[in-house]
Amino acid sequence: MSNKKTIAIITNNIELSLLLKEQFDIQGIFSLKFFNEISIDLALNKNEKILAFMITEDLLQTLKAQKNTESFWQRNKKTTILISKNETEHDVVNDIRFQPLYTIILPIEFRALTKLLSDLVQQKEEPRFSNVDLGDVFLDIVGRKIHKHEKSAKLTEKESKILWYLLSNPNLKIDQKLLLKEIWGYTEEIETRTLTTHIYRIRQKLLEIGEDGYEIRNIENSYILKTG
């Protein structure tokens, strides 16, 4: 199994699709699903988790003819990227009620595309992970820091998410498999010792900011933040 985020491209340009797939394979962050003029209706009805849809302007009119187009854009308008050879005519875009938040001009600069897709990942996760206060401890989820009074310690992305679960559920058991699934996209390839290492570092950082009243315990394949 893979923890890569899935990106879909809707295009008749096979060369572009293969080039994107090659770059995604090299980067190892995203996987690519390909749809063309014939299979476009499958893209509109996809229920699986697709992070973003990229569509080339040559298929805009084809997309317009699909009966599910309007509902598709309602669901995905915030994560649709138009790939254009030049500045697309606004009347063409408006004609299919398609107002993409992002437009990429060919040739694609892959570093910029990767940054855009990574930002979309963060935007989707931010509503779930937010800042947390517990007693004198404050978790800055965006800045990835844990604070207590004037002291603070930097956290990695995964450390901040683990702490979010623990601080949001004090004195409750959080299953290890839940953490592995939600934070790593759990597969059999991920070992629990990876989580154990992160928990150890979090314990050290709590001590670093002077917080010795909270204790992270390992109980029955779960972790629990004891506050007293």
Mean pLDDT of the chain: 82
| Tokens 């995604």, residue located | 24
- Matching residue, tokens 């979090």: 202
**Residues in the chain with pLDDT values less than 50:** 1, 88-92, 95-96
Instruction: Report the candidate in 46, 47, 63 with the shortest Cα–Cα distance to residue 55.
Output: 63
SS3 content of the chain, % helix, strand, coil (to 5): 45, 25, 35
Q: Would you mind telling me the total number of residues written for the chain in this entry?
A: 228
Is the CB of residue 76 less than 8 Å from the CB of residue 7?
A: no
Q: Calculate helix-pair angle for 176-184, 192-208, nearest 10 degrees.
A: 90
Q: Could you read off the pLDDT of 37-56 as tens digits, one per residue?
A: 888 777 667 656 788 889 88
* Domains observed in the chain: 5-125 (3.40.50.2300), 132-226 (1.10.10.10)
pLDDT at res. 98: 57
pLDDT given for residue 66 in this prediction: 65
d(Cα 108, Cα 96) in Å, to the nearest integer? 24
Burial class (CB in 10 A: 0-12, 13-18, 19+), 162: buried
Prediction pTM value? 0.52
d(CA 103, CA 84) in angstroms, rounded, equals 7
